[in-house]
Amino acid sequence: MKPALLRDLKSLLGDASVLHRPEELLLYEYDGSVEIARPTCVVFPRTTAHVQRIMQLANQYETPIIGRGAGTGLSGGALARNGGILTVFSRMNRILDIDIENQRATVQPGVVNSDLSAAVAHAGLHFAPDPSSQKACSIGGNVSENSGGPHTLAYGVTTNHTLALEAVLPTGELVRIGSPALDPVGYDLMGLFVGSEGTLALVTEITVKLTRLPETIKTLLAIFETLDDATETVVDITARGITPAACEMLDGWTLCAVEAYVHAGFPLDCAAVLLLEVDGVKEAAEQHAEDVAEICRKHHAREVRVARDEQERDLLWKGRKNAFGAVGRLSPTYYVQDGVIPRTKLPATLRHINEIGKKYGFQIGNIFHAGDGNLHPLILFDARDSDQFRRVVAASDEIIKFCIEMGGSITGEHGVGMEKDRLMPLLFTDAELDVMRCVRDAFNPRGILNPDKIFPTSKGCGEIHVRPLPQSRATTGLTAT
Amino acid sequence: MSPTGAVAHSRLADLVGSARVIADPAQLASYEIDGTRPSAALQPESSLQISEIIKFAITEKLGVVATGGRTKLNVGLPPKRYDLALDMSSLNKIVAYDPGDLTLSVEAGLRLSVLDDTLGKHHQFLPLAVPYHPQTTLGGIIASGVDGPLRQFYGTARDFLLGVEFVTGEGVAAKSGGRVVKNVTGYDIHKLMIGALGTLGLITRLNFKTFPLPPTSCGFVGRFPTAQQACDMRNRIARSHLTPLTLDILSPSVTEIFESQTAAQFESEPMPSDVLSRTEWATSVGFAGSERVRERYLLELQRIAEESGGAGSLVPEKTLPAAFARKREFVPIALASSPATTIVRMSALPAKISDMLIAAQKAAEVNSLRWAALARGLGIIYFALLPSALDDGSKQRVVNTTDSVHEACAKLGGQSTIPWCPTTWKSNLKVWGPENPDFPQMRKIKNVFDPQGILSPGRFVGGL
């Protein structure tokens, strides 16, 4: 690393806020995906002025700069792909303003997702996007990735809840975009910036909507002998005019793994379970819970459990929220995919995923947001084995290609990052990618901010860019969700 | 285009076929924007043709505006150049509809009212409920960025537009998003197209998430002596567990225009006479559900209305559609109610709606202007000034009023624009509101999509 850059960063932030020794950088080579990339240095700004100055230094020293929240991302979005200044927002973690009356909050990007909900719970409010990593992930990261979560089916994803941003552009310019009031005048800059995977700006302040907690929540678990029955149930629920707050599916194998871990009394011999939630005013939630249970039974559910209290609800959700962890106990590493399909194609897609598992010799567990067709196949493998790594990427690509054939997409909520950039040409023409690149270049003209992400690099489509994990670090891929 | 007119027309006929080139002045009158008539209107049948037209327009330096139902062409500043109207009415197919997947793909020229029929057969709908409902097209709805009363529960098109296909100002056919209900692949360029008045691209196809039709719905109206009380009812609902489908606040003067013959042009069923009062503010709430749910809403809304210092009642079921249609058509009804209607659209934090309404009312009354206001519970206010004539005196009073409203709105942390006003007043009014701090970023975006400045030139913020 350039000594002058190190000196300038230390003089700006203090020695303790700049990491640059190899052993200090180890942790920051990872996120929740299987990607690894070592930054040149790691810095911890505490103010917007720090961020602005770091951006200026990155320009001055022509060094890439990458933003990072809690590092829970699942597509390598917050990794320094080819080195650079990794700017970690964990010390910009203050909730700046809570406006109960208007249901707004303004936070620094490092605020942990569930901390904001906890801070407004006394007023009966919450921040609706709830990724499974919500106890660790930061709202800045949610904004960058446009994160979802189990309850996005009814409540929407991060972009539906983000109103205004303060941000430092790659040119060093400080901007405020959007408005705490709705419908800001002009082009929807918020719509562009949220979900731009840290390639257009480093966000330093975020104003979000707060959503009222429902009066009544009813959580149901329905157990099915076939995937088709479970899928038809999902479609039928909507046909009856009900939009569940959450509609999650776990396949039989995953459920066994989960049960061995959480001991929630899940069955060990079924094809799939649906975890369903309906909410609203008491009368509506109760009615919908009855209707949903009846629809499940109509589609041959073996059993429908309804949580009787908060404790039972937590137990049902524990299975879902700890599923990744449960699978992690069974394998040194797993590769989680994020394909999206039209939800009526679920049975065909799952059958195909199982075939791919057999073909490549991997066990694949399936957990997904069934209501919106967002799949999370977990492929169990050992990253210490470079041949397995190669094959897991090939298997994963086959899954994604099948999702596209079904009319779907390559990522529902994890982002493209450095994991799926090479798959982008499967969805977009060169001309379309060029339009998007031009948008990036309009804000990030020197390409200094989060380079080599989203857009395919020189490698052709479908070419594998595997970098097997060295032996000693193989198990660190377990940090996910 | 006039010097080379004949040559240009023959070239355009080559591109789309001579039957699809409209050059007859009488026919072209209906494509006028702010008094400017294009040299030709074309009816392309594919995005390929549109690409070719754009490439031709670049070489000839022609201004191009896409049109749909031609109901909102006068929104925004007058175009700096307007040579070609691209009439999208031939692109009117439902490309794909999968009720089980809740997804839909339509061409931009499809009318919402036609689509409603198809979706309704599957008990689904797009919760747009925007003005000009019979004529308006999906492309026009998105390009103009209009909203409707159902946004209280369902959000705006931004929340359920899944993807867009468009042709850029360089003639490149491109897309963003997809046709699945959840997707973070690539930049959300489709969101940029919403409300951009066609200045970034010509929308050819749109993908939406569809929704199940709500069960039996009801309307409730609370009536109050003051705007503060009507807003208080809104605030109490926001603090309750109720999640109504619509929530709008109407000024007493809205009653008069809703009950008039003018309104009957837009909704032939008469306005129920005992729903709104000509002396009281109204908080109008729509909700849906089973009988038990509806009973709960009714009880709670009645209690809330009383706590806010007023009284309320259910809208009789039979007259609900007529009342709802008027709420949806507030803008066209207001526009038809005066020869010089000027509508200021303001955004406000929800708790500031009352302050905003009072400030705007004061400004109108100081300038002796008739007015009517409809405020959405989420903080969007349509404030219609209704001068009695299109004369210079009225113009000055409207300028004074809107300047005060812009100022008050900015002070209260909101933003304001004037989407609708007489064409001849546009040079005197701040159509896009006070100077916009986001403008430099917007210009960057415009330069990406339309570097030659041929798409709806000059109509957007800051003359983009």
Q: Is A159 on the interface with B (CB under 8 A)?
A: yes
Q: Could B184 and A412 be called an inter-chain contact, meaning their C-beta atoms sit closer than 8 Å?
A: yes
Rounded CA gap, A453 and B308, in Å? Answer: 54
Q: Does residue A130 sit in the same domain as residue A170? A: yes
Q: What is the CATH number of the domain that holds A299?
A: 3.30.70.2190
**pLDDT value for A463:** 39
List the alpha helices (DSSP H) in B160-199: 189-193
Residue at a domain's end among A263, A296, A325: A325
Q: State whether B292 and A280 contact (CB < 8 Å).
A: no
A185, A215, A243, A403, best to mutate vs chain B, most B CBs in 10 Å:
A185
Structure-token pair, residue A268:
């060990």
Please give the CATH architecture assigned to the domain spanning B217-322: 2-Layer Sandwich (3.30)
With contacts defined as CB-CB under 8 Å, which chain B residues touch A373? 101, 180-182
Q: Which of A282, A310, A325 is the C-terminal boundary of a domain? A: A325
Name the residue facing B191 among A182, A191, A344 (closest C-beta): A191
User: Residue A200 to residues A86, A448, B116: CA-CA distances in angstroms?
Assistant: 15, 10, 38
Low-confidence ranges of chain B (pLDDT < 70): 1-6
Q: Look at residue A481 and tell me whether its pLDDT is greater than 70.
A: no
**In this predicted structure, what is the pLDDT of residue B185?**
96
- Check residue B136 and give its pLDDT: 98
pLDDT for the residue numbered B270: 84
Helices (H) and strands (E) counted in chain A, each on its own, are: 15, 18
Of A176, A420, A439, the CB nearest to B189: A439
Give yes or no: residues A71 and A33 share one domain: yes
Helix ranges (DSSP H) in A14-47: 22-25
**Total domain count, chain A:** 3
Element (H, E) at A374: strand A374-381
Q: Which residues of B touch A194 (CB under 8 A)?
A: 188
User: Across A39-48, A316-325, A343-352, which has the greatest mean pLDDT?
Assistant: A39-48
A155 and A258 in a single domain? The answer is no
The C-alpha angle with vertex B459 and arms to B455 and B463, in degrees rounded to 5, equals 100
A72 Cα distance to chain centroid: 8
**Residue appearing with tokens 């959503």:** A211
Q: Say which residue, A137 or A468, is predicted with more confidence.
A: A137
- Residue B57 CA to residue A299 CA, distance in Å, equals 57
Q: Are residues A84 and A10 in the same domain?
A: yes
Q: Where in chain B is the domain with CATH 3.30.70.3450?
A: 217-322
- Pick the last residue of a domain from A290, A325, A360: A325
Which tokens in the block code for residue A61? 């020293």
Classify the C-alpha dihedral A328-A330-A336-A340 as positive or negative: negative
User: Do A317 and A221 sit in the same domain of this protein?
Assistant: yes
Token pair for B23: 């050059």
Q: What CATH architecture does domain B5-89+451-456 belong to?
A: 2-Layer Sandwich (3.30)
- Cα A250 from Cα B370, distance rounded (Å): 61
- For residue B299, give every residue at least 6 positions away whose Cβ sits within 8 Å of its Cβ, in sequence order, or none: none
Assembly ipTM? 0.96
Are A355 and A376 found together in one domain? yes
Q: Which of A369, A362, A276 lies closest to A327, judged by CA? A: A362
Domain that holds residue A244: 216-325
Convert the pLDDT of each residue in A134-175 to its tens digit.
Answer: 999 999 999 999 999 999 999 999 999 999 999 999 999 999
| Residues B452, A145: Cα–Cα separation, whole Å | 32
- Confidence bin at A458 (pLDDT 50/70/90): low
Are A156 and A207 contained in the same domain?
yes
Same domain for A310 and A338, yes or no, is no
User: What is the pairing mode between strands B246-250 and A246-251?
Assistant: unpaired
| Of the options 3.20.10.10, 1.10.10.10, 3.30.465.10, 3.30.70.260, the CATH number for the domain spanning B93-212 | 3.30.465.10
A residues 168..197 contacting B (CB < 8 A): 175-177, 179-189, 191-192, 194-196
Q: How high is the pLDDT of residue A335?
A: 93
Position of tokens 């499940």? A296
- Rounded CA separation A139/A154 (Å): 20
Q: What is the CATH number of the domain that holds A183?
A: 3.30.465.10
What pLDDT, on a 0 to 100 scale, did the predictor assign at position B66?
Answer: 98
pLDDT at A459 > cutoff 50: no
Q: Compute the distance between CA of residue B113 and CA of residue A223 in angstroms, rounded to an integer.
A: 41
- The CA-atom distances, in angstroms, between A377 and each of A338, A352, A353, A462, A477 are 7, 12, 8, 19, 16
Give the list of residues 6+ apart from residue B3 with CB closer than 8 angstroms, or none: none
Whether residues A222 and A191 share a domain: the answer is no
The CATH number assigned to the domain holding A352 equals 3.30.70.2740
Asked whether residue A342 falls in the same domain as residue A228, the answer is no
Q: What are phi and psi of A354, to 5 degrees?
A: -65, -40
**Contact criterion met (CB below 8 Å) for A92 and A204:** yes
A475 pLDDT higher than 50: no
Closest CA of chain A from B284, distance in Å? 20
The span from the CA of A441 to the CA of A439, in Å, is 5
Name the residue of chain A whose CA is nearest to B192's CA: A188
Residue range B338-425, CATH number: 3.30.70.2740
User: Does A429 contact chain B (CB < 8 Å)?
Assistant: yes
Same domain, A75 and A54: yes
Look up the pTM and report it. 0.95
For residue B142, the chain A residues in CB contact (below 8 A) are none
**B224, β-bridge pairs:** B281
Does A468 score more than 80 pLDDT?
Answer: no
Nearest Cα neighbor of A344 from B181, B330, B268 is B181
> Using CA atoms in the order B38, B44, B48, B51, what is the torsion angle rounded to 10 degrees?
10
Q: Return the residue in B102, B185, B217 with the most chain A beta carbons within 10 A, the one to mutate for interface testing.
A: B185
CA atoms within 13 A on the CB side of B33: 30
| Alpha helices, DSSP H, located in B270-419 | 291-307, 320-328, 330-336, 353-366, 392-411
- CATH 3.30.43.10 domain position(s) in chain B: 5-89+451-456
Shared domain check, A290 and A164: no
> Helix, strand or coil for residue B334?
helix
Binary contact (B183, A411; C-beta < 8 A)? yes
Asked if A181 and B212 come within 8 Å (Cβ–Cβ), the reply is: no
- CATH 3.30.70.2740 in chain B, residues? 338-425
Task: Tell me if residue B351 falls in helix, strand or coil.
Answer: helix
